[in-house]
Protein backbone atom coordinates (compact mmCIF):
# COMPACT_ATOMS: atom_id res chain seq x y z
CA UNK A 1 0.00 0.00 0.00
CA UNK A 2 2.81 2.39 0.88
CA UNK A 3 4.67 1.57 -2.39
CA UNK A 4 1.52 2.26 -4.40
CA UNK A 5 1.14 5.68 -2.76
CA UNK A 6 4.76 6.49 -3.59
CA UNK A 7 4.25 5.52 -7.23
CA UNK A 8 1.10 7.66 -7.52
CA UNK A 9 2.85 10.63 -5.92
CA UNK A 10 5.85 10.35 -8.24
CA UNK A 11 3.54 10.04 -11.26
CA UNK A 12 1.66 13.19 -10.25
CA UNK A 13 4.89 15.11 -9.82
CA UNK A 14 6.20 14.00 -13.22
CA UNK A 15 2.91 14.72 -15.00
CA UNK A 16 2.53 18.13 -13.42
CA UNK A 17 6.16 19.00 -14.24
CA UNK A 18 5.88 17.92 -17.88
CA UNK A 19 2.56 19.70 -18.37
CA UNK A 20 3.98 22.83 -16.78
CA UNK A 21 7.04 22.75 -19.07
CA UNK A 22 4.99 22.21 -22.20
CA UNK A 23 2.49 24.89 -21.21
CA UNK A 24 5.29 27.42 -20.80
CA UNK A 25 7.10 26.50 -24.00
CA UNK A 26 7.33 29.27 -26.62
CA UNK A 27 7.13 26.72 -29.40
CA UNK A 28 3.56 25.77 -28.48
CA UNK A 29 0.73 28.00 -29.66
CA UNK A 30 -1.34 29.90 -27.10
CA UNK A 31 -4.58 27.82 -27.39
CA UNK A 32 -2.64 24.62 -26.87
CA UNK A 33 -0.77 26.09 -23.87
CA UNK A 34 -4.12 27.09 -22.39
CA UNK A 35 -5.46 23.57 -22.78
CA UNK A 36 -2.31 22.13 -21.22
CA UNK A 37 -2.58 24.55 -18.27
CA UNK A 38 -6.13 23.34 -17.75
CA UNK A 39 -4.90 19.76 -17.82
CA UNK A 40 -2.26 20.56 -15.20
CA UNK A 41 -4.92 21.66 -12.69
CA UNK A 42 -5.73 18.11 -11.53
CA UNK A 43 -2.18 16.94 -10.76
CA UNK A 44 -1.23 20.35 -9.31
CA UNK A 45 -4.27 20.32 -7.02
CA UNK A 46 -3.44 16.76 -5.92
CA UNK A 47 0.13 17.81 -5.11
CA UNK A 48 -1.09 20.88 -3.26
CA UNK A 49 -3.49 18.79 -1.18
CA UNK A 50 -0.73 16.29 -0.39
CA UNK A 51 1.73 18.94 0.82
CA UNK A 52 -0.98 20.69 2.82
CA UNK A 53 -1.82 17.41 4.57
CA UNK A 54 1.86 16.67 5.14
CA UNK A 55 2.27 20.12 6.63
CA UNK A 56 -0.48 19.39 9.11
CA UNK A 57 0.85 15.95 9.98
CA UNK A 58 4.48 16.93 10.52
CA UNK A 59 3.77 18.98 13.68
CA UNK A 60 1.81 16.02 15.10
CA UNK A 61 4.73 13.71 14.44
CA UNK A 62 7.01 16.16 16.19
CA UNK A 63 4.57 16.39 19.13
CA UNK A 64 4.40 12.60 19.37
CA UNK A 65 8.19 12.36 19.62
CA UNK A 66 8.23 15.17 22.19
CA UNK A 67 5.47 13.47 24.17
CA UNK A 68 7.50 10.28 24.25
CA UNK A 69 10.59 12.14 25.48
CA UNK A 70 8.55 13.88 28.20
CA UNK A 71 7.01 10.60 29.34
CA UNK A 72 10.46 9.02 29.57
CA UNK A 73 11.68 12.01 31.57
CA UNK A 74 8.68 11.78 33.91
CA UNK A 75 9.33 8.05 34.44
CA UNK A 76 12.95 8.84 35.25
CA UNK A 77 11.96 11.58 37.72
CA UNK A 78 9.41 9.28 39.40
CA UNK A 79 12.02 6.55 39.79
CA UNK A 80 14.57 8.99 41.16
CA UNK A 81 11.93 10.31 43.58
CA UNK A 82 11.21 6.80 44.86
CA UNK A 83 14.93 6.08 45.24
CA UNK A 84 15.41 9.34 47.14
CA UNK A 85 12.47 8.50 49.40
CA UNK A 86 13.98 5.07 50.15
CA UNK A 87 17.38 6.59 50.91
CA UNK A 88 15.78 9.15 53.23
CA UNK A 89 13.92 6.44 55.15
CA UNK A 90 17.07 4.31 55.29
CA UNK A 91 19.16 7.24 56.56
CA UNK A 92 16.60 7.99 59.26
CA UNK A 93 16.53 4.36 60.33
CA UNK A 94 20.32 4.11 60.51
CA UNK A 95 20.51 7.40 62.39
CA UNK A 96 17.95 6.03 64.84
CA UNK A 97 20.18 2.99 65.43
CA UNK A 98 23.21 5.20 66.06
CA UNK A 99 21.23 7.41 68.46
CA UNK A 100 19.96 4.30 70.25
CA UNK A 101 23.50 2.96 70.62
CA UNK A 102 24.59 6.24 72.16
CA UNK A 103 21.65 6.22 74.58
CA UNK A 104 21.95 2.68 76.03
CA UNK A 105 24.33 2.09 78.96
CA UNK A 106 26.37 -0.71 77.38
CA UNK A 107 28.60 -1.20 74.37
CA UNK A 108 27.13 -2.98 71.36
CA UNK A 109 28.23 -4.40 68.04
CA UNK A 110 25.82 -3.58 65.19
CA UNK A 111 25.07 -6.48 62.86
CA UNK A 112 22.91 -7.15 59.82
CA UNK A 113 20.54 -10.08 59.59
CA UNK A 114 21.66 -12.08 56.55
CA UNK A 115 19.55 -15.20 56.83
CA UNK A 116 17.60 -17.72 58.82
CA UNK A 117 18.57 -21.19 59.92
CA UNK A 118 16.67 -23.46 57.48
CA UNK A 119 16.29 -26.11 60.20
CA UNK A 120 14.78 -23.61 62.66
CA UNK A 121 13.37 -20.81 60.48
CA UNK A 122 11.08 -19.06 62.93
CA UNK A 123 13.24 -19.05 66.04
CA UNK A 124 16.81 -18.40 64.96
CA UNK A 125 18.65 -16.16 62.52
CA UNK A 126 22.11 -15.55 61.09
CA UNK A 127 24.00 -12.27 61.43
CA UNK A 128 27.07 -10.98 59.58
CA UNK A 129 29.29 -10.56 62.66
CA UNK A 130 31.41 -13.14 64.46
CA UNK A 131 34.47 -13.55 66.62
CA UNK A 132 36.48 -11.30 64.30
CA UNK A 133 34.07 -8.53 65.34
CA UNK A 134 34.26 -9.37 69.09
CA UNK A 135 31.00 -11.31 69.16
CA UNK A 136 31.16 -14.13 71.72
CA UNK A 137 28.97 -17.12 72.42
CA UNK A 138 26.24 -16.17 74.87
CA UNK A 139 26.24 -12.45 74.02
CA UNK A 140 22.78 -10.92 74.44
CA UNK A 141 21.26 -9.56 71.22
CA UNK A 142 18.81 -6.65 71.09
CA UNK A 143 17.03 -4.37 68.63
CA UNK A 144 15.83 -0.82 69.14
CA UNK A 145 12.52 -2.27 70.34
CA UNK A 146 13.71 -4.86 72.80
CA UNK A 147 15.39 -8.16 73.55
CA UNK A 148 16.01 -10.52 70.62
CA UNK A 149 17.95 -13.44 72.05
CA UNK A 150 21.54 -14.56 72.45
CA UNK A 151 24.45 -15.71 70.31
CA UNK A 152 24.26 -19.50 70.21
CA UNK A 153 26.98 -20.38 67.69
CA UNK A 154 29.76 -17.98 66.71
CA UNK A 155 31.92 -18.29 63.63
CA UNK A 156 34.66 -15.93 62.59
CA UNK A 157 32.47 -13.74 60.38
CA UNK A 158 28.92 -14.83 61.22
CA UNK A 159 26.84 -16.02 64.14
CA UNK A 160 23.64 -17.93 64.79
CA UNK A 161 21.24 -16.15 67.15
CA UNK A 162 18.77 -18.10 69.28
CA UNK A 163 15.62 -15.97 69.58
CA UNK A 164 13.65 -15.63 72.81
CA UNK A 165 10.70 -17.20 70.98
CA UNK A 166 12.58 -20.51 70.64
CA UNK A 167 11.36 -23.23 72.99
CA UNK A 168 14.96 -23.80 74.10
CA UNK A 169 15.37 -20.18 75.22
CA UNK A 170 15.16 -19.23 78.91
CA UNK A 171 15.50 -15.70 80.26
CA UNK A 172 15.11 -14.39 83.81
CA UNK A 173 12.54 -11.56 83.74
CA UNK A 174 10.48 -9.33 86.04
CA UNK A 175 7.20 -7.52 85.65
CA UNK A 176 8.23 -3.86 85.53
CA UNK A 177 5.24 -2.60 87.54
CA UNK A 178 5.42 -4.89 90.57
CA UNK A 179 8.89 -6.46 90.23
CA UNK A 180 7.38 -9.94 90.24
CA UNK A 181 9.94 -12.37 88.83
CA UNK A 182 9.70 -15.42 86.61
CA UNK A 183 11.36 -17.34 83.79
CA UNK A 184 10.58 -16.45 80.18
CA UNK A 185 10.50 -19.39 77.77
CA UNK A 186 9.75 -19.50 74.06
CA UNK A 187 6.62 -20.90 72.39
CA UNK A 188 6.08 -22.47 68.95
CA UNK A 189 3.56 -19.73 68.03
CA UNK A 190 6.18 -16.95 68.11
CA UNK A 191 5.22 -15.64 71.53
CA UNK A 192 6.75 -16.27 74.95
CA UNK A 193 5.50 -17.52 78.31
CA UNK A 194 6.51 -16.55 81.82
CA UNK A 195 6.43 -19.44 84.29
CA UNK A 196 6.89 -19.53 88.06
CA UNK A 197 4.86 -16.39 88.77
CA UNK A 198 3.69 -16.39 92.41
CA UNK A 199 0.02 -17.27 92.87
CA UNK A 200 -0.61 -14.11 94.89
CA UNK A 201 0.96 -11.87 92.22
CA UNK A 202 -1.30 -9.22 90.66
CA UNK A 203 0.32 -9.46 87.23
CA UNK A 204 -2.17 -8.35 84.59
CA UNK A 205 -2.66 -7.84 80.89
CA UNK A 206 -0.65 -4.89 79.55
CA UNK A 207 2.19 -5.15 82.10
CA UNK A 208 5.67 -4.53 80.69
CA UNK A 209 8.21 -7.33 81.01
CA UNK A 210 11.94 -6.57 81.35
CA UNK A 211 15.07 -8.62 81.91
CA UNK A 212 15.90 -9.33 85.55
CA UNK A 213 19.66 -9.21 85.05
CA UNK A 214 20.37 -12.55 86.72
CA UNK A 215 23.63 -14.15 85.60
CA UNK A 216 26.01 -12.64 83.05
CA UNK A 217 24.11 -13.05 79.77
CA UNK A 218 21.25 -10.55 79.78
CA UNK A 219 21.81 -7.10 81.32
CA UNK A 220 19.12 -5.81 83.65
CA UNK A 221 16.24 -3.67 82.44
CA UNK A 222 16.00 -4.58 78.73
CA UNK A 223 12.40 -4.50 77.48
CA UNK A 224 11.12 -7.94 76.52
CA UNK A 225 7.45 -7.37 75.71
CA UNK A 226 3.90 -7.01 77.04
CA UNK A 227 1.71 -9.42 78.97
CA UNK A 228 -1.33 -10.37 76.87
CA UNK A 229 -2.94 -12.91 79.23
CA UNK A 230 -2.51 -14.52 82.66
CA UNK A 231 -3.66 -17.98 83.69
CA UNK A 232 -2.96 -20.93 86.00
CA UNK A 233 -2.27 -24.37 84.65
CA UNK A 234 -4.03 -27.25 86.41
CA UNK A 235 -1.88 -28.88 89.10
CA UNK A 236 0.72 -26.06 89.08
CA UNK A 237 1.57 -23.98 92.13
CA UNK A 238 2.28 -20.87 90.09
CA UNK A 239 0.74 -18.61 87.49
CA UNK A 240 1.77 -18.26 83.86
CA UNK A 241 1.62 -15.25 81.56
CA UNK A 242 1.70 -15.09 77.79
CA UNK A 243 4.00 -12.33 76.50
CA UNK A 244 4.03 -10.64 73.10
CA UNK A 245 7.68 -9.75 72.29
CA UNK A 246 8.35 -6.03 71.79
CA UNK A 247 10.14 -6.87 68.55
CA UNK A 248 8.44 -8.68 65.68
CA UNK A 249 11.06 -11.33 64.95
CA UNK A 250 9.94 -11.70 61.32
CA UNK A 251 10.82 -8.07 60.50
CA UNK A 252 14.40 -7.89 61.72
CA UNK A 253 17.03 -6.29 59.48
CA UNK A 254 19.63 -5.05 61.97
CA UNK A 255 20.42 -6.11 65.51
CA UNK A 256 23.00 -5.20 68.16
CA UNK A 257 25.13 -7.68 70.09
CA UNK A 258 25.93 -6.58 73.63
CA UNK A 259 29.64 -6.97 74.39
* The pLDDT of residue 148: 96
Estimate the crossing angle of helix 30-103 against helix 2-23, to 10 degrees: 140
* The pLDDT of residue 173: 97
* The pLDDT of residue 28: 47
Q: Which residue would you say has higher pLDDT here, 51 or 152?
A: 152
Contact (CB, 8 A) for 136 and 172: no
CA dist 76 and 68 (Å) reads 12
Separation in Å, CA 137 to CA 61, 108, 126, 150, 151: 70, 14, 13, 8, 5
Q: What is the mean pLDDT of residues 33-61?
A: 58
Q: How far from chain centre, in Å, is Cα 240? A: 39
Q: What is the mean pLDDT of residues 132-143?
A: 94
Average pLDDT, the chain: 81
Q: How far from chain centre, in Å, is Cα 74? A: 21
What's the whole-model pTM score? 0.66
Beta strands in the chain (DSSP E): 108-116, 124-127, 140-142, 147-154, 159-163, 170-175, 181-186, 192-197, 208-211, 223-232, 239-245, 254-258
* Nearest alpha carbon to residue 209 among 221, 191, 196, 197: 221
Burial 211-232 (b: 16+ CB within 10 A, else e): bbeeeebbeeebbbbbbeebee
CA dist 224 and 97 (Å) reads 18
The band of 154, judged by pLDDT with boundaries at 50, 70 and 90, is very high
Separation in Å, CA 237 to CA 184, 185, 196, 232: 17, 18, 8, 8
pLDDT, tens digit (0-9, with 9 covering 90-100), for 72-105 = 888 888 887 777 776 777 777 777 777 777 778 8
CA dist 142 and 146 (Å) reads 6
Phi/psi at 191 (nearest 5 deg)?
-105, -175
* The pLDDT of residue 35: 57
pLDDT at 23 over 80: no
Residue 111 β-bridge partners: 255
Please report the DSSP string for 9-44 in residue order. HHHHHHHHHHHHHHHT-TTS-HHHHHHHHHHHHHHH
pLDDT, tens digit (0-9, with 9 covering 90-100), for 226-258 = 999 999 988 888 999 999 999 999 889 899 999
Contact (CB, 8 A) for 141 and 125: no
The band of 54, judged by pLDDT with boundaries at 50, 70 and 90, is low
Amino acid sequence: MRDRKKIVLKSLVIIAFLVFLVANSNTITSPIRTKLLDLSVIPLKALHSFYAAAGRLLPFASLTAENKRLREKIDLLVRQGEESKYLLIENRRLKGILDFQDAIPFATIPAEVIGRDPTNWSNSLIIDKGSANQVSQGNAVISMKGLIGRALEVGRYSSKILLITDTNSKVGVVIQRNRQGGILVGRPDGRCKIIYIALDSDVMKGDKVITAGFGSVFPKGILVGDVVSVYKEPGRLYKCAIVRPAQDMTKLEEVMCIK
